[in-house]
Structure 1
Amino acid sequence: MRGYTGECLLIPKRDFRPWWKRIIWPPVIFTVARAFVFSCRYGTVEIPAGMPTDGASVPRPMRWIFPPVGDYLRAAVVHDAALKQNPRQVADEIFLEAMLYDGVPEWKAYTLFGAVRLFGILKERIG
């Protein structure tokens, strides 16, 4: 069966950095409050309680289009956990499947999927 088992409950983390760092690099950091699981064609991804996540890792100039906490937030949390349990390409596919399962519009899901694939390829080549 595909889908979620449990609820994605996130707690915002306090940021103790100096005020000027918070303005320049605004924090979007959460802690998963309760463990949950996402089942998909690649198997299951276990998201443990206590796992830190930054939501969707969107470059700052693009955040006005895709904020870190959009309708794809739960899929982004799954992606963060999937990266620790799978190769990057599989984790990216899981991200796409989770977004589509969550009802994220296809144009947005495929745009975000393309962005994470491109970032993954660049990260592998650059190091």
Structure 2
Amino acid sequence: MYREAPTDKSDWWELYEPFEETLSDGSTILIPAGYVTDFASVPMLLWSIFPPIGKYNRAALVHDYLYDLQYKQKELGEKEARKFADDQFLFLANKINSKDAFRHFIMYLTVRIFGFYAWRATKE
């Protein structure tokens, strides 16, 4: 479904086929082939605890895509749209593996606290 992206960054990955996922509100999102992601943006210092690539890749992929689109920002406003995207990470990560719900919640909190940097960077 994905391969290492042809960029100068070795930690980026490219979708080689479209990916579809159902969100918590029942809507479906289609991520096109060619989309590039780093999955979870985790500082290298924390990789042993929270690896950037893992069981939650689908959740991180959808989260990155929603951020890049600034999905639902026109409808909900910036704060609520960003929260919706963050909530999708938690929803999908728990859907994939509910046994790691605490780990996912810690990751979710981190995204809630620091995600505005990535959200705002998308605007520029």
TM-score tier by shorter-chain length is 0.7 to 0.9
1:93 corresponds to: 87
2:77 corresponds to: none
1:53 corresponds to: 37
Residue 114 of structure 2, aligned match among 119, 124, 127: 119
1:44 corresponds to: 28
Task: Report matched runs for 1:18-97 at 5 Å.
Answer: 27-42=10-25, 43-83=27-67, 84=69, 85-86=71-72, 87-97=81-91
Pick the structure with greater CA Rg: 1
Q: Which runs of 5+ in 1 are unaligned?
A: 1-8, 17-25
Q: Structure 1: which amino acid aligns with 2:62? A: V
Could you tell me the percent identity over the aligned residues? Answer: 31
Output the aligned Cα RMSD: 2.2
Q: TM-score, normalised to structure 2's length? A: 0.76
Q: Structure 2: which amino acid aligns with 1:65? A: I
C-alpha spacing 1:120/1:14, structure 2 compared with 1 (3 Å)? closer
Whether the 8 Å CA contact 1:45–1:81 is kept in 2: the answer is: no
Structure showing the higher helix proportion among its residues: 2
Indicate the SS of the match to 1:37. Answer: strand
2:78 corresponds to: none
Q: Which runs of 5+ in 2 are unaligned?
A: 73-80
Once the two structures are TM-superposed, the CA of residue 107 in structure 1 deviates from its matched residue by 0.9
